[in-house]
Amino acid sequence: MSTPLLQVEDLRVRFSTDDGIVHAVDGISYTVDTGQTLGIVGESGSGKTVSSLTTLGLTRAKNTTIEGRILFEGRDLVTLSDDELRKIRGNEIAMIFQDPLSSLHPFYKVGAQLSEAVLTHRSVGKSAARARSVELLELVGIPDPQKRVDQFPHEFSGGMRQRVMIAMALANEPKLLIADEPTTALDVTVQAQILGLLEDLQRRLGMAIIVITHDLGVVAEITDHIAVMYAGRIVERAPTEAIFGSPQHPYTWGLLRSIPRLDTPRDEELVPISGRPPSLIQRPSGCHFHPRCPYVREAHKRIDPRLEPVTGDPGHFAACLLETDVRSRIWRALQAGEDPASLRHLVVEDQQPMRAHATHRLASQEEL
């Protein structure tokens, strides 16, 4: 087995602030291979953006502690100096940011900004860089690139600006492209265009892509693998089909059941995840998801689950203390439209609720 393009091992990122230490990323591991797309899914504050910014060295600061390893083609990016990292950033690893309006400089022409990306890493002349800019605009499907290259960002629409951002990221033919919420600010029709463009570019250029998003629809369309993050950790990681086919973590179930979708009956009730995302300064004890989990046992409030392979499915990892057979029973019931609250009986507690269960049965016998 060859080494993967990017291998993140037990990455931890902490920020010390006036309010306390923020555990933004808390021991995550994943790999991405050339030509593959990984989706990182989570809510705001789950650490999905921080983990990828750290890959590019963009979280380095006095108040930041970074532990773990980020191996890119065998080199550990965490230990590289700022100068060495600068040679990789924008060259071998590039990033697309969420908001194309604020990511482009309003004073400079699009061509100048694209040329800068080229000139930073290549020793070519200005005219060659400009020619490359035109070529890049054409690559991302901007009509009339000869003219557009001399225009300012405000003359581009939202979707076109995101195309410019993608063009800039591709300037040096990166091996890894990180797209942070690439379509969140865009309309569905434009989103479909951009996703199609990313897929097409990946086929032609053969790069690896990491897509960071909260939109399960987006990841279903373009990813090969998915990592679901919650409170700074990966709580489930699996091939895309497995995440949607047999999800294992209660948080993933919650995400899947709480969004209205076009492929389910219209009047199906949404099942929200109760509560709100936890603070990353004072994290819940035990399993971080336990305050919002409908299937919590007393023990789960003390024991911290590890990301472990799911029994019988070696490529599928989940950090959940429920047994695999209990989980699959719950997921089947959820798919049949049952309310999470009514499924508590499937989670047999170690002692007390056992008794509750027994008395319940006694009561029903008495009724008979």
> Which residues of the chain form contacts with other proteins (CB under 8 A)?
43-44, 143, 157-160, 187-193, 195-196, 214-221, 240-241, 244, 254-256, 258-264, 266, 268-274, 276-277
Q: Is 211 helix (H, G, I), strand (E, B) or coil?
A: strand
Contacts of 169 (CB under 8 A, 6+ apart): 90, 94, 95, 96, 177
Alpha carbon separation from 103 to 127, 164, 189 (Å, rounded): 24, 10, 22
Cβ at position 243, least distance to other proteins in Å: 9
Cβ at position 183, least distance to other proteins in Å: 9
Of 67 and 241, which CB lies nearer to other proteins in the complex structure?
241
Sheet of 20-32, strand order: 20-32, 6-17, 64-72, 75-76
Of 125 and 315, which CB lies nearer to other proteins in the complex structure?
315
Of 105 and 276, which CB lies nearer to other proteins in the complex structure?
276
| Tokens coding 60 | 């380095």
Contacts of 115 (CB under 8 A, 6+ apart): 126, 129, 130, 132, 133
Alpha carbon separation from 265 to 18, 41, 132, 257, 332 (Å, rounded): 48, 25, 49, 12, 17
Of 19 and 269, which CB lies nearer to other proteins in the complex structure?
269
Of 132 and 292, which CB lies nearer to other proteins in the complex structure?
292
d(CA 34, CA 207): 6
Cβ at position 54, least distance to other proteins in Å: 22
Cβ at position 166, least distance to other proteins in Å: 16
Of 192 and 356, which CB lies nearer to other proteins in the complex structure?
192
Cβ at position 323, least distance to other proteins in Å: 25
Alpha carbon separation from 114 to 67, 69, 141 (Å, rounded): 34, 31, 15
DSSP-derived pairing of the beta strands 64-72 and 75-76: antiparallel
d(CA 331, CA 325): 10
Cβ atoms 140, 170 nearer than 8 A:
yes
Of 73 and 215, which CB lies nearer to other proteins in the complex structure?
215
Cβ at position 120, least distance to other proteins in Å: 30
Cβ at position 228, least distance to other proteins in Å: 12
Cβ at position 141, least distance to other proteins in Å: 9
Provide the sign of the torsion angle of the four alpha carbons 344, 350, 351, 354, taken in this order. Answer: positive
Dihedral pair phi/psi, residue 235, rounded to 5°: -95, -20
Of 60 and 147, which CB lies nearer to other proteins in the complex structure?
147
Q: What is the DSSP letter of 147?
A: H
